[in-house]
Amino acid sequence: QTVCRRADGSMIAIFEHGDVTHEEGKPEMFRNRPTTMAQCGGKACSLVHLDDRIAASWMRGTRHVTVIGSRNIDEVARLAEALN
């Protein structure tokens, strides 16, 4: 895991983890929140809106990548492309 600080001082957290999906198919950390699916950087992503930020999770090989604190779906797509 890593926490990155943007030039404006805001932060984004990035985690790589094994399969932690709930029986409904959602990542465990998202299971009580409404999720939407989107294509982000060519990856199928689960998105959760958290106030003015987004949490996103996608598969990278056999592992998941989860990003918490993205500003918008464009930022998620850039991260998904860069991290794969």
Kindly give the pairing relationship between strand 11-17 and strand 2-5. Answer: antiparallel
**28: DSSP letter:** G
Q: What is the pTM of this model?
A: 0.80
Task: Report the alpha-carbon angle 3-35-17, nearest 5.
Answer: 40
Cα–Cα distance for residue pair 40/67, rounded to 1 Å: 12
Cα–Cα distance for residue pair 72/63, rounded to 1 Å: 23
Give first-to-last CA distance, the chain, whole Å.
Answer: 15
Render pLDDT for 53-65 as a digit per residue (tens, 0 to 9).
999 998 888 888 9
Render pLDDT for 61-79 as a digit per residue (tens, 0 to 9).
888 899 999 999 999 999 9
